[in-house]
Amino acid sequence: MKKLLSILLCLALLCSMMAVTVLAFDAGENSPDAPPNDWFDNIVIPPDNSITLEIPIVKIVRQLGDEAPGRQVFTFAPTDFKYDETYGPENNDKVNYTVSGGTIVTNGPGEYYGTLKIKVADEEEFAKLDDGFSIVEVKDGAAGWIYDTSVWGVKPYIDEFNQNHVWEPDDTNVTHNEVGNGLVFVNTYVGTSGKPQLNKVDHFAFMQGYPGGAFGPDRNMTRAEVATMFARLMVEQMEVGKTYPCSFSDVPASQWYANYIGYLEKFEILTGYPDGTFRPDAPITRAEFATIACRFEELTAGKATFSDVPDSYWGAKYINFAAARGWVTGYPDGTFGPQKNITRAEVVTITCRLLERKADREFVKAHLNEMPRTFTDLPTEKSHWAYWSIVEAANGHDYTKSGADETWIRVYK
């Protein structure tokens, strides 16, 4: 009898434990802290079913020259939506969205912050963003500004753990080298004084080699070649399809260099000879090149430096100014050689100094096989005194800068 009672008590206790276990399981399954069976169906959304993505924007304003930028409004917008194939043309794949907060007001150099808000009507519209979109700066054409042409990729998704609609940068669609706490856009103010400016922001390639792979560092450059180079380096780019006439009798409009020469003459960067000619095919001298370089700056007095450049020399003020700025140097004997034809190596060295460009030597050494342009007559850094300036000039690159030093991020043609 006692044995039977013990068995019955054990059975009762076991049943009680099973009931408690079932209750505990049921409570856990329905508790607010437990993950739902289907997180997509349990997403928390506003009463009107709308979904808003908030994207932080960082605007960096830089000043080039002495003229400071005043109040300016910059606008940012989404573009280039890559629709989920689920919503093909037959399902009206156009995303219906509204944008707010897409402007940042700046006043002077510095960093400014804002938030771009993109709102869609409901879950179905949000699903159309599955493959992402881009954020760009809208160029409104304000005078004196170099606009940022960056494209930032945005990839929206649903966070499975907290059921929020969020986004992350899409690194496959980023074309900017600046990084920060948000999508970074950099605009540079060059001023509206009318003085032509050289583009010191975009480090694209401005020199190439010859067929066969040589650079020819000790070869000369013609006056037409130098005019073409400087025209392409200016902030204010030539308009495609537009003709820029020039006044020189030996520069017919049919020549490949005519438009470049006419463009620089418009800004009074180039002058010809007393007989009305430009002599486009003649080698350019060191004095002539120094003079052109100085015409992009407000010329101030320079101290007489070279024994063969007396004050009476026509280009003395330009040569002395360029020497004072550190753009040009002379020879060990104290001369400048103003009438000597300038070499291609000298051109790239002076131009890199003008543009405040300096090659990232460690990057180049580590990625030498990836450089878009290397030259058969410049195999190593020891092959020519101007090797690093030539590498800088011949290979476009994205970069960041600290003082005078560049850190390269990637290279391109």
Q: Does pLDDT of 31 surpass 60?
A: no
Is the pLDDT reported for residue 10 higher than 60? no
Confidence tier at 177 by pLDDT (50, 70, 90): low
Rounded CA-CA distance 327/293 in Å is: 9
Instruction: Judge if pTM exceeds 0.75.
Output: no
Q: Based on the domain organization, do 341 and 389 belong to the same domain?
A: yes
Strands 183-189 and 145-146, how do they pair? antiparallel
Q: Which residue has the tokens 């010191």?
A: 200
Average pLDDT over residues 145-174: 83
pLDDT (0 to 100) of residue 141: 72
Give pLDDT, residue 179: 65
Sign for the pseudo-dihedral over CA of 391, 392, 393, 396: positive
CATH number for the domain harbouring residue 103? 2.60.40
Considering only residues 357 and 304, tell me which one the structure prediction assigns the higher pLDDT. Answer: 357
Please tell me the distance from the alpha carbon of residue 247 to that of residue 262, in angstroms, as a whole number.
8
Clarify whether residues 150 and 289 are in a common domain. no
Which of 16-20, 266-270, 290-294, 386-390: highest mean pLDDT? Answer: 386-390
Instruction: Identify the domain boundary among 189, 215, 233.
Output: 189
Question: Can you spell out the DSSP letters for 255-308?
Answer: STTHHHHHHHHHTT-----TTS---TTSBPBHHHHHHHHHTTS---------TT
Q: What is the pLDDT of residue 127?
A: 85
Query: Does residue 45 have a pLDDT over 80?
Result: no
Q: State which residues form the domain around 182.
A: 42-189
What confidence score (pLDDT) does residue 14 get? 44
How large is the angle between the packed helices 316-324 and 286-294, nearest 10 degrees? 70
Question: Any residues with CB less than 8 A from the CB of 164 and at least 6 apart, and which?
Answer: 44, 158
The pLDDT of residue 33: 41
Please check the confidence at residue 175 and state whether its pLDDT lies above 80. no
Does residue 251 sit in the same domain as residue 339? yes
Given this model, what pLDDT does residue 48 score?
76
The tokens for 171 are: 């690194």
Give yes or no for residue 218 having a pLDDT over 60: yes
CB atoms within 10 A of CB 298: 10
Residue 326 lies in a domain: yes
The answer as to whether 17 is a domain residue is no
In terms of domains, do 129 and 248 share one? no
pLDDT of residue 21: 33
pLDDT of residue 193: 65
156 and 296 in a single domain? The answer is no
- pLDDT attached to residue 104: 94
Neighbouring residues of 145: CB distance < 8 A, sequence distance ≥ 6: 69, 72, 187, 188, 189, 190
Q: Residue 90 pLDDT more than 80?
A: no
Counted domains in the chain: 2
Q: Average pLDDT in the 63-90 region?
A: 74
Q: Is the pLDDT confidence value at 201 over 60?
A: yes
* pLDDT band, residue 348 (cuts 50/70/90): very high
Are 184 and 227 within one domain? Answer: no
Write down the pLDDT at residue 226. 97
Of 77-81, 103-107, 250-254, 389-393, where does mean pLDDT reach its minimum?
77-81
Instruction: With respect to residue 379, please indicate whether it lies within any of the assigned structural domains.
Output: yes
Could you tell me if residue 218 is inside a domain? Answer: no
378 and 300 in a common domain = yes
265: left (phi over 0), alpha (psi -120 to 50) or beta: alpha
Q: In this structure, is residue 60 part of a structural domain?
A: yes
For residues 229 and 361, membership in a common domain is answered with yes
